[in-house]
Amino acid sequence: MSDYLKLFGEELKKNVPGYIAVAVTEIKSGISYYSNSAIADFDPELASAFNLEVVKAKLNAINALGLNETIDDIMISLSSQIHIIDVADNNEYFIYLAVDSTKANLGMTKALLNKYKKEITKKL
C-alpha cells in the first residue's frame, strides 16, 4: 500500500498545477497514511489533523440533521491557496490537498482526486 500511496503522491506532484502538499488520513484514528509537501515549511500532516476536525464536525452535522448524505469534498479558499478535503465514499479516510490558487486548475485537480480516491478505497 505504501508503494501505491508514494506513486499517488508523485502523480499529484507531477500532474496538479500549483501543487503544494497532500496527505491521506484515516478519519476514525486520525492516522496519516501518507503525506508529502513541495514546501519545506508546510506540514501536511499537521494541516490534515486540523482538517480532520472539520470533516468530523460535518459528519456529525449530517448525522444530527438526519440527512441521508455523504460528503464528496470540502473546499476552503484562502487568499493564495485552495485546500481540498476529498472524503472517501465509505467515510473511512480523506485526501487533503493544498494548491496554489493562481496556478490550480480545479476541474483537472478534482478529476484526479476522484480517480485516486477510488483506487485508494480498493487498496485500504
For residue range 64-119, list pLDDT tens digits in order. 999 999 999 999 999 999 999 999 988 899 999 999 999 998 998 998 888 888 77
Q: Name the residue among 30, 22, 11 with its Cα closest to residue 82.
A: 22
Q: Which CATH class is domain 2-123?
A: alpha beta
H or E stretch covering 21: strand 19-26
Burial of 63: CB neighbours in 10 Å, binned 0-12, 13-18, 19+: exposed
Instruction: Check residue 2 and give its pLDDT.
Output: 76
Q: What pLDDT digit, counting tens, does each position of 76-89 carry? A: 999 999 999 999 98
- Percent of the chain exceeding pLDDT 90 equals 71
Q: What is the DSSP code (8-state) at residue 124?
A: -
Question: Which parts of 27-115 are beta strand (E)?
Answer: 32-37, 73-77, 81-87, 93-100
